[in-house]
Amino acid sequence: MCQHPLCDHGSAAGSLSSGHRPVAPSCIGKFLSTIKLLCIVGVLAWLLHLCPFAITLVLPLLCALLVGLVINASMQRSSQLTPEQRHALHSDPDHQQFMSDAMRNKVHYATRLGQAIQLPTVSFDEHDIQQKTDPGQFLKLHELLQKNYPLVHEKLERTVINNYSLVYKWKATSSSSGSSSSSSPSPRRRPILLAAHLDVVPVPDGHLWAFDPFGGEMSSEGFICGRGAIDDKHALCGLLESCEALLEQGWCPTERDIYLAFGHDEEISGYQGAGEIAKYFKQQELSFEWMLDEGLFVMKDMLPGLKESVAMVCVAEKGFLVSELKVNVPASLAGHASAPSSVSAIGILSEALLRMESNPMPSYLLQARSPVRQMFRALAPHFSWPLRILLGNLALPPIGWILAKILERKNTTATIVRTTTALTVFQAGGKANVVPREARALLNHRIHPFDSVRGVLDYTRRIINDSRVQLKDLRSLPPSALSATRGPGSEGFEVLRQAIGRTMPEVLVAPALMVGNTDTHHYWGLVENIYRFSPSRMTPDSVSMFHGVNERIHVDNYVECIGFYRSVIRMAGEPQPPTQSSSSTNAVSSSATKHASSSSKED
């Protein structure tokens, strides 16, 4: 996967390889900065204690310290595209012409997406005894795609995987021409993989919707409505629309093959879809430079103090662990409730759970390569004051520590800076007058990329510190490796950054952490760098549509999605790569290979 993964996923917090250029002070530099700041604070406190009149000395020093922080924050150079670069990308004549034509034909695009939404390709869990997945809907979707995108099915090599999933290969012209020539072929880069999924989640609460969940209609406000509009048929159809448009122009990739992969069961872990596609790729001895799949969105008004919309490109994905805690007590401690013992299975387990809730795992905000640290670094120059001062000085441990504590206090932000633990199931007893011998609880851990499954289990044992409590790993998936955002291996991130700048020039771009799970884990071991991003525009009010009610996407935003995917394909497939250097053609790292043996996935 990523060529800069965690070096040791067996440790609680593995060290990172040093592929990136330094972006933060060294450990010694941080230590010295902390000592300096503490010395200043100590001197000020001493002076105030020694002589109240020393306030006349303290105030100037405090002002000087504040000025220093302000100057340091002001000197932070933005990693965003400059206005000139955004204008140049957005003013590209080919892109301008396509977007102008696409906006005129947006009803046509909306109709085709609506047709895909009308097919209820719902994935039901295999344990659901009331409702079963209808394979026929997926076959109908195959037929619809063939009808709506004829050039794609004429020019690209299509392979059906496990009856219902689809793979398309867009062969580069240089790989199919000149084979009989005596001259050696021009150097070519490894292929890339663009993914989406065919299935959608069920609609258990259809009566709450303002429209037919599978109507695929366009509202009077311009929204394309229905299940799959943002998860994930907009990406499925958007990718195919962009390919169809490029084929109509006679365009073809010249430097690398481009693969499209559409699994049919992502919503229930993807083992029959992406899992089988990955096996097919291995049989073909394929590996990929980088991959784009669904992820976070273009977020507006999600961060206080930031006016601009932000494209959150996830460079890592949290893992998960479902652990079981069980207590069994001797028969002498159980029995009739009329003569209870002072020790019980329920009491022992309750104490263990209380310890877990009272001792959350540590934050990794201060780690230089933490995805959230990278996000704040990318956005700091664009925050309003005084947040800009704090975020611009995160390299100073006291400030970083304060911000980490602030983020840890709220559950919605704690999840992006540390491994979280949720108590989800507690089982004990069956009758009101019987003291049970056994008590059982399930914990759901979402594992930060700097932690590991084994590290979480070790931490749990250490916190509980009770030999009477048995701990077991029921299901787990390690966190993903971190994908490159700068330096060697970052070509994919740079392609996405420029494609966003070309399509949505006012939007900032920042690395982020995916706290849920996708089916990309099936491709670990095949892909150098995996990026998770969807060009759907979201606000705090609209995020609830995801797996919720009234799912929809505005037609103008859908046209932006098509333009974005078209730009990604063009930049990835043309001779001139982005400004960042591409990754080497070495084999996928051993750490990513370790990932390939992981077990299961949760949504």
Catalytic residues: 199, 266
Cα(554)–Cα(448) distance, integer angstroms: 34
Give me 85's structure tokens.
Answer: 């670069």
Give me 448's structure tokens.
Answer: 């930060």
- From the list 507, 574, 499, the residue with the least C-alpha distance to 531 is 499
Helix axes 491-503, 83-90, angle to 10 degrees: 70
Amino acid code (one letter) for 544: S
Whether the Cβ atoms of residue 302 and residue 204 lie closer than 8 Å to each other: no
568 Cβ partners below 8 Å, 6+ apart? 194, 292, 495, 496, 499
Q: What is the DSSP letter of 579?
A: S
Side-chain-side CA neighbours of 575 within 13 Å: the count stands at 4
Cβ-in-10-Å burial (0-12, 13-18, 19+) of 49 comes to: exposed
Amino acid code (one letter) for 583: S
Query: Which sign does the torsion angle of CA 89, 91, 94, 96 carry?
Result: positive
Cα(402)–Cα(420) distance, integer angstroms: 19
Cα(318)–Cα(327) distance, integer angstroms: 29
Whether the Cβ atoms of residue 186 and residue 107 lie closer than 8 Å to each other: no
Cα(167)–Cα(258) distance, integer angstroms: 11
Give me 441's structure tokens.
Answer: 């609880």
Backbone angles phi, psi at 37, to 5 degrees: -65, -40
- From the list 110, 94, 102, the residue with the least C-alpha distance to 249 is 94
CA distances, 386 to each of 70, 80, 314, 372, 400 (Å): 9, 21, 27, 19, 15
Q: What is the DSSP letter of 329?
A: -
Whether the Cβ atoms of residue 267 and residue 177 lie closer than 8 Å to each other: no
Whether the Cβ atoms of residue 267 and residue 201 lie closer than 8 Å to each other: yes
419 Cβ partners below 8 Å, 6+ apart? 318, 361, 445, 446, 447, 448, 451, 456
Whether the Cβ atoms of residue 375 and residue 79 lie closer than 8 Å to each other: no
Cα(238)–Cα(196) distance, integer angstroms: 10
Q: Which helix (H) or strand (E) holds 425?
A: strand 420-428
Cα(286)–Cα(283) distance, integer angstroms: 8
Could you give the angle at the alpha carbon of 165 between the alpha carbons of 244 and 531, nearest 5°? Answer: 70
Can you list the alpha helix ranges (DSSP code H) found in 340-448? Answer: 345-358, 371-379, 387-391, 397-408, 411-414
Cα(95)–Cα(375) distance, integer angstroms: 28
Cα(579)–Cα(496) distance, integer angstroms: 12
